Structure 1
């Protein structure tokens, strides 16, 4: 059984994944912000998760971590390593924030916040756990990106950028770390309206700019927000938790670089884009050492 760090465990995909993984016998370090009892925003969910673990004889440890803070990440990983005897088998970078609307309506500070959580946060956690994985010559990192790293539609421009950046970083790490015995892969989820993704999204502080935009831009924004209203046909976010479990339990070296979950009618096109990127990257990996051999 594996020791797994999972970020963004307070809700959505993360909370379902904690329970899914723990019920299979894995030890899950469920990280989240603000878990201090009574005063923290996630104190209630942390308490309920601990109670659930006790009731189900599951191995779950709730650990305070803010992925936007290097000090917080390093402190949390050190605490987890102490609890696990220095063993960290899996890191799942799931924490994220969203924004639906015009990119200009975000202040630069809000844009920075999104990149801090969605892009730099996973970089922080990867750099914190990799020394342990190198010592083991073994490990798995799963970065939760999005089909929006391929589906670059308006009214999600900043979010698209954060996820596309993480997806690109993941590709580089995947090939860089392969010979070190460490797998780096991504999950690209589609839209799951029954999560709390919309309720927790950022509200632009500069929305006055909307008055300068044409009807086409505003009509698309309204349609996009309507698309995220849950319906009886909405997908089940448990599918993403199940995809995480499948990757965790697959043999090393056999895990696909990308796993699309709930990609909708465009899933085949997203997969074709992934395949094209893979072919380009592997062409360069094969040809460059031949063109510039070691002296």
Structure 2
């Protein structure tokens, strides 16, 4: 692939997990990757192996000024970003009552406001070129939630609704938006020191306690393969009719289908009451 035809990827959280897998897949396809991370030394081996294709850039996605600087620098040096992947994030486990105001706001900064700022910085250039792809890494928790994940799922749901509205706005400009909804994948998201736990309240030991145990005990045994996830994302982006949402993993498909069935059943059960609130003709 020539310098002119190679795509330019900007991937946040590129040092591990989906970010790393996507970076490796893009490099294998001959594309160029600007991988960002709070600790970019995690990309040193990839930079060393592919110095003409990979750059490692320090970026804290919650630092707005830094986001603007990185976006401006990438555009100045490369002239464009063909694929933006908003991937940086972390797990947070805690009951809603256990989650502090600071914890909730910090998580929204990481999963919503940071990606929104970076997207907004790059979007005018994609719009002017009438081309580009925006990949927002959500979760099956973007459509459903359960005990211990109220805060985490709230941020992913917000990201998804921003993405859905954005897609409707920018599709006429040739820009694709892809919401990725993974289940449990073998990344470091649940690894010791990576997952964040709010301070425990004994009243939630039975409900949230089970979620805490699941996160602590399942690290390294998740069924999903990040490399296969990266291949699936690239396949979706290349499709003639790409999906808006892409569930990844059999567990995600099962959970989302079950959730949608439950929502439909509840709407049907209460349909008469719901329709009865319209103004009488």
**TM class, shorter-length:** 0.7 to 0.9
Whole-angstrom CA distance in 2 between matches of 1:268 and 1:217: 22
- Give the one of 47, 55, 73 matched to 1:50: 47
- 8 A contact 2:86–2:115 mirrored in 1: yes
Instruction: Give the match's secondary structure for 2:156.
Output: helix
Q: Is it true that 1:29 corresponds to 2:34 in the alignment?
A: yes
Partner residue in 1 for 2:110: 117
What are the ranges of 5 or more consecutive residues in structure 1 without an aligned counterpart? 34-41, 278-295
- CA drift of 1:227 comes to 5.4
What are the ranges of 5 or more consecutive residues in structure 2 without an aligned counterpart? 1-5, 265-281
Partner residue in 1 for 2:211: 221
TM-score, normalised via structure 1 length: 0.79
Deviations 1:80-103 (CA, angstroms, capped at 9, x unpaired): 11221x122111111112112323
Q: Is it true that 1:262 corresponds to 2:249 in the alignment?
A: yes
Q: Is it true that 1:203 corresponds to 2:197 in the alignment?
A: yes
- CA drift of 1:121 comes to 1.5
Deviations 1:71-122 (CA, angstroms, capped at 9, x unpaired): 11110011111221x1221111111121123233332112111110111121
Say what the alpha-carbon RMSD is for the aligned residues: 2.3
TM-score, normalised via structure 2 length: 0.83
Instruction: Give the match's secondary structure for 1:95.
Output: coil
- CA drift of 1:201 comes to 1.7
Distance 1:215 1:72, change over 3 A: closer
Partner residue in 1 for 2:274: none
Partner residue in 2 for 1:286: none
Instruction: Give the match's secondary structure for 1:77.
Output: helix
- 8 A contact 1:155–1:221 mirrored in 2: yes
Distance 1:235 1:8, change over 3 A: same
Instruction: Give the match's secondary structure for 2:10.
Output: strand
- 8 A contact 2:147–2:208 mirrored in 1: no
Whole-angstrom CA distance in 1 between matches of 2:170 and 2:123: 10
Aligned residues: 256
- Give the one of 4, 22, 25 matched to 1:20: 25
